[in-house]
């Protein structure tokens, strides 16, 4: 699949070019944005970013699994995982672009 990998640095640079704040402010704002989302999720909050998607924490029960390497049964502890559901807008954009590129 073609396409570049976007990082924090790219986001900060993009914000700097488009909004025109200092590079230092932009880097800090990218960092704080991600951190505030993490903090909300830690609190068990749903994070809803309209047009983008929804992050939600889900509790998984304990279950028996297997070590895929050895095939031995192994207990999996209860844990909290994050589910992300992309918005309809994002889903449509991604699917349309990939279809036009003939990638599926």
Residues that bind other proteins (CB under 8 A): 1-8, 10-11, 14-15, 18-19, 21, 25-26, 28-30, 32-34, 36-38, 40-42, 45-53, 55, 57, 76-82, 84, 86, 90-91, 93-95, 97-99, 101, 103-104
CB of 7 to other proteins, least distance (A): 6
CB of 86 to other proteins, least distance (A): 4
Contact 48, 54 (CB under 8 A): yes
- In the complex with other proteins, the residue whose CB is nearer, 52 or 66, is 52
The 3-state DSSP class for residue 21 equals coil
- In the complex with other proteins, the residue whose CB is nearer, 6 or 71, is 6
The enclosing H or E element of 18 equals helix 8-19
Contact 16, 23 (CB under 8 A): yes
Q: Tell me the DSSP string of 46-65.
A: -EEETTTEEEEEEEE--EEE
């Amino acid at each position: 699949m073609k396409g570049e990998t976007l990082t924090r640095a790219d986001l900060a640079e993009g914000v700097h070019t488009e909004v025109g704040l200092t590079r230092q402010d932009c880097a800090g704002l990218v960092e704080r944005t991600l951190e505030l989302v993490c903090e909300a999720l830690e609190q068990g909050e749903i994070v809803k970013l309209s047009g983008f998607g929804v992050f939600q924490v889900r509790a998984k029960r304990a279950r028996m699994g297997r070590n895929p390497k050895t095939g031995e049964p192994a207990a999996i502890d209860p844990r909290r995982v994050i589910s992300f559901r992309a918005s309809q807008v994002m889903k449509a954009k991604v699917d349309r672009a990939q279809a036009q590129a003939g990638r599926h």
